Amino acid sequence: MSTELDNMRGNWGFPTSVRFGVGRIVELPEACRELGIERPLVVTDKGLASLPMLADAVSMLVDAGLGASLFSDVQGNPVEANVDAGLQVYRDGGHDGIVAFGGGSAMDVGKCIALMVGQSRPIWDFEDREDWYTRADADAIAPVIAVPTTSGTGSEVGRAGVITNLEDHTKRIIFHPKMLPAIVIEDPEVTAGLPAHLTAAVGMDALSHNMEAYCSPLFHPMADGVAVEGMRLIKNWLPAACADGNDLEARGNMQVASSMGATAFQKGLGAMHSLSHPCGSLLDTHHGLTNGVVMPYVLAFNGEVIEEKMTALARYLDLPNPSGKSVRDWVLHLREEIGIAHTLAGIGVSEELIPRLAKMAVDDPTAPTNPVKLTVANLETLYANAINGALAS
């Protein structure tokens, strides 16, 4: 192991217990025992289920005397049926804890299974609104261990899961403080080999989380500090992670940047997510990719209000001629370098959907913390700009 990788190792409590470093996946059985989990249900997605890393993880747990089994009926934009199916497997197997192993979809479903295993109310009763989380029996929530295999959502350090309600095709944020995984194992080796196009998409998701948290008008200087350093890591390491999937230094830095974004966005998100969520609900677009596509259009839309913040960010990122424009130019260059589409039309979003998308976007829970107040009218304009590639210089 190189000196750089030797130094990239640590145990952090920020905001939960994180064990970071190459090779630390071997600590998974110990983590289960620490939480009193004897029969873990490993929750992952269909794409990961057949990979050797999953078989190795389950074998590691079984060899340690733990009654582990695997659940992988999880789609890219999870729906209630995925959670219900996992609940059935959890109960039938007599499981007593969750190992959420994968990207954001697996994390979200795993955390929601942990929440719902002891509840009698429907999942939508625990949406992140007002104090709805107090409806849950907190003592019945199962413990969760998170093993992130992508570097985008940062769901491993979050207290919520995003689930699509197929009745109205809206993404709902299901929340409870005890959904926060008790232990996170971040091992860059489990992210090695992620295809370049997925590395790019999830990397843009991490950037959007840090960027929108930083731009949120709410007062939270600690989140701002985390966000700007997260963006610096992405600037330095995302192109390298896309270029070489086995560059563990790049992979490790992107893992950290992803967790930083999700830590920072307790301050709020904004129009990137407000625009992206309806596209994912209606068209099943990749969430991180969609955030990456709309990013420069939203930065331009918010430009006047966030100019001071963007100038400070540009200085921190060591961009030439620090300004909001220099940040947008950097984003455009980064997207071109790693192969992110320039328009929503390029990922299948058509103009005929704009009225429906805009009405969904204005009601999205991320809309209130956009720096500029969002309305149906200006969201329609934003969608049209992002579909047609109309980006002001």
For residue range 228-276, list pLDDT tens digits in order.
Answer: 999 999 999 999 999 999 999 999 999 999 999 999 999 999 999 999 9
**Per-residue pLDDT band at 3 (split at 50, 70, 90):** low
**DSSP 3-state assignment of 145?**
strand
Question: pLDDT tens-digit profile of 273-313?
Answer: 999 999 999 999 999 999 999 999 999 999 999 999 999 99
- For the domain spanning 194-388, the CATH number is 1.20.1090.10
Task: Kindly tell me if the per-residue pLDDT of 362 is higher than 80.
Answer: yes
- Measured at the alpha carbon of residue 269, what is the angle toward residues 168 and 182, in degrees to the nearest 5? 90
β-strand partners of 12? 18
Q: pLDDT at residue 393 above 70?
A: no
- Asked if the bond preceding 29 is cis, omega within 30° of 0, the reply is no
What are the percentages of helix, strand and coil residues in the chain, rounded to 5? 60, 10, 30
Average pLDDT (3-18) is: 87
Q: Is the pTM of this model over 0.85?
A: yes
Residues 338/238, Cβ–Cβ less than 8 Å:
yes
Cα dist. 353→66, 102, 122, 281, 387 in Å?
49, 32, 30, 12, 11
Q: Is the pLDDT of residue 1 over 70?
A: no
Residues of the chain with CATH 1.20.1090.10: 194-388
Select from 125, 108, 144 the least CA-distant residue to 287: 108
Q: Find the mean pLDDT for residues 89-107.
A: 96
What's the rounded Cα separation, in Å, for the pair 18 and 185?
Answer: 6
φ/ψ of residue 187, rounded to 5: -120, 110
**Token output for 35:** 């939480």
Beta pairing, strands 40-43 & 17-20: unpaired
Give me the amino acid identity at 323: S
Question: Which fold, 3-190?
Answer: Rossmann fold (3.40.50)
Asked if residue 101 lies in contact with residue 74, where contact means CB atoms within 8 angstroms, the answer is no
Comma-separated ranges of CATH 3.40.50.1970 domains in the chain:
3-190
Residue pair 185/179 in contact by the 8 Å Cβ criterion? no
Cβ atoms of 94 and 121 within 8 Å: the answer is no
Tell me the C-alpha distance between 310 and 329, whole Å.
12
**Angle at CA of residue 252, ends 250 and 256, nearest 5°:** 115
| CB hemisphere CA count around 159 (13 angstroms) | 16
CA-nearest of 99, 54, 103 to 77 is 103
Please report the pLDDT score of residue 2 as a whole number.
61
C-beta neighbour count of 342 within 10 angstroms: 15
Q: How many residues does the chain have?
A: 393
Q: Which of 60, 345, 20 is nearest to 183 (CA)?
A: 20
Which H or E run includes 42? strand 40-43
Instruction: Say how far apart CA 162 and CA 78 lie, in whole Å.
Output: 7
Res. 47: pLDDT tops 90: no
SS3 10: strand
